[in-house]
Amino acid sequence: MSQAVHNIPHMADTQAPPAIVLDKVNKWYGAMHVLRDVSLTIAEKERVVVCGPSGSGKSTMIRCINRLETHQEGHIIVDGTELTDDTRALDTIRREVGMVFQSFNLFPHLTILENCTLAPIWVRKMPKADAEELAMNFLTRVKIPEQAKKYPGQLSGGQQQRVAIARALCMRPKIMLFDEPTSALDPEMIKEVLDTMIQLAEDGMTMVCVTHEMGFARQVADRVVFMDRGEIVESGTPLRMFEDPQTDRLKLFLSQILRGH
């Protein structure tokens, strides 16, 4: 992981090729229009936080990026490869894009270590010993190396989510997607997961994160994207978005979020 030590503000970083391009993406569930002309370009090493009320399409959008959901119109280009029905292109992209889910989705029948080594061994064709060493490295980074031999069911929610992050990192992805990673956690466990994510952001990982944690957004995000009713309403730096919201919808959303906290 040869990340830059300095974190350049990425809005200015125009030379680097974009990591993710969404171009006029549309998606329907039956008659329901869940993504409306969503266009978004994310630069390499950029950290983007996506927020918005529930049902705004933010989860759907992030799930389109590694094709857990398929879009019906528009183009999605990830790491230079366009997402189509071509399964080989999809395999390439999924290898480069890690994902962390709201409900952790660890494999309950495998130990923590096996959870982390499965994909490197079978997708990356890494020798088992190397994969285990790598996994222990990442488990140490998320501060739970001592749990390696346990099963997911024996861990707390916060620990499970940190394992899920380590599992995704073991594939050495270029991009990490987080789909509400702290929403299913008890309050006292949210911090340990956010700390892990902050550390990851500081290492220069390209991150797209759907979350309502505004503190996290303020601290690490280069850009905040606000979605409502399937479209991107407003985007900008966290400071600008939170201090000076331009649209009524964002103002309303922020007031609701702040009241809730």
Our CB check for another protein shows the closer of 151 and 242 to be 151
CA distances for 254 relative to 54, 82, 161, 238, angstroms:
13, 34, 27, 12
Our CB check for another protein shows the closer of 10 and 167 to be 167
Beta strands in the chain (DSSP E): 18-29, 32-43, 47-51, 73-78, 81-82, 97-100, 175-179, 206-210, 223-228, 231-236
- Supply the minimum distance, in Å, between the C-beta of residue 75 and another protein: 21
Return the range that interacts with another protein (CB under 8 A); candidates 9-17, 23-31, 152-160, 234-242.
152-160
Map residues 156-175 to x or -, x wherever contact with another protein holds by CB under 8 A.
--------x--xx--x----
Site for another protein in 43-82 (CB under 8 A): 66, 68
Distance CA 21, CA 245 (A): 25
- Supply the minimum distance, in Å, between the C-beta of residue 155 and another protein: 11
Instruction: Write out the residues near another protein by the rule CB under 8 A.
Output: 66, 68, 91, 94-95, 97-99, 101, 103, 105-109, 118-119, 122-123, 151-154, 164, 167-168, 171
